[in-house]
């Protein structure tokens, strides 16, 4: 039997988490992740936050954290679809890997999904967008604002943001690693930073 590729194994872990949402688009995103074609020839590009991200992943017993770590050599970290919307200091506090997207690497006309790491102690200020969004924390923790709901989120927690709900995250002392997905209207032009008194 062929061994599962690290991306296939990661896709299965992500789909299992999205399946817990009980939302049709979450299930369909899982189907696309686990059946989509992963292009050959993608290799990891050195990224500034890798050591901190590995340290954060190492604190977690979540199976998806192990799958993310195993897939690092072929994960396209640095593919942030909204990087053009950020200040340099914001772009420097997070690393994003897009796995499923209309532009690939796995092609989906309707959904986006991927990974995110945010550096310890940094604050990613209030923003919103048209897309419906779900995050699932797989390592570390964050003080998480989602509309009127603010609390510490840890590995195993799943957070849902309906379209246009303002959200912001202050990473804990190990930072956090999360998987994310977008559905509904997945345009990136509506991604907007909002007035935020907590912004550094």
Residues of this chain that bind Fe ion (CB under 5 A): 133
Please identify, using beta-carbon distances, which residue of 101 and 133 lies nearer to Fe ion.
133
Give counts: helices (H), strands (E), the chain. 5, 9
Please identify, using beta-carbon distances, which residue of 152 and 194 lies nearer to Fe ion.
194
For the CB of residue 194, give the shortest distance to Fe ion in the complex, in Å.
11
CA distances from 53 to 57, 86, 161, 188 (A): 6, 20, 24, 25
> In angstroms, rounded to a whole number, what is the distance separating the alpha carbons of residues 110 and 185?
8
Structure tokens at 60: 């977690």
Query: DSSP alpha helices (H): ranges in the chain?
Result: 6-18, 24-35, 50-57, 63-71, 88-93
For the CB of residue 151, give the shortest distance to Fe ion in the complex, in Å.
17
Please identify, using beta-carbon distances, which residue of 34 and 190 lies nearer to Fe ion.
190
User: Which residues does 67 contact at the CB level (< 8 Å), separation at least 6?
Assistant: 6, 9, 10, 12, 13
Please identify, using beta-carbon distances, which residue of 69 and 133 lies nearer to Fe ion.
133
Please identify, using beta-carbon distances, which residue of 6 and 140 lies nearer to Fe ion.
140
For the CB of residue 128, give the shortest distance to Fe ion in the complex, in Å.
7
Residue nearest to Fe ion (CB): 133
Q: How are beta strands 106-107 and 167-183 bridged, if at all?
A: unpaired
Structure tokens at 51: 């050591």
For the CB of residue 172, give the shortest distance to Fe ion in the complex, in Å.
19
For the CB of residue 161, give the shortest distance to Fe ion in the complex, in Å.
6
For the CB of residue 102, give the shortest distance to Fe ion in the complex, in Å.
17
> In angstroms, rounded to a whole number, what is the distance separating the alpha carbons of residues 90 and 98?
17
Please identify, using beta-carbon distances, which residue of 67 and 159 lies nearer to Fe ion.
159
């Amino acid at each position: 039997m062929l061994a599962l590729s690290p991306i296939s194994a990661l896709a299965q872990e992500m789909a299992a988490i999205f399946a817990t949402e009980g939302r049709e688009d979450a299930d369909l995103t899982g189907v696309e992740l686990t059946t989509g074609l992963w292009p050959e020839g993608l290799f990891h590009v050195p990224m500034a936050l890798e050591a901190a991200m590995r340290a954060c992943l190492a604190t977690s017993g979540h199976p998806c954290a192990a799958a993310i770590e195993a897939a690092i050599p072929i994960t396209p970290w640095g593919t942030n679809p909204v990087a053009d919307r950020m200040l340099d200091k914001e772009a420097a506090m997070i690393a994003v890997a897009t796995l499923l997207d209309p532009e690939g690497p796995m092609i989906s006309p309707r959904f986006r999904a991927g990974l995110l790491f945010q550096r310890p102690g940094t604050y990613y200020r209030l923003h919103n967008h048209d897309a419906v969004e779900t995050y699932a924390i797989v390592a570390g923790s964050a003080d998480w604002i989602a509309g009127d709901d603010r609390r510490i989120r840890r590995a195993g927690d799943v957070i849902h943001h309906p379209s246009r709900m303002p959200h912001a995250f202050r990473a804990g002392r190990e930072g956090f690693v999360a998987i994310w997905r977008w559905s509904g209207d997945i345009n990136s032009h509506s991604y907007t930073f909002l007035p935020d008194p907590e912004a550094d």
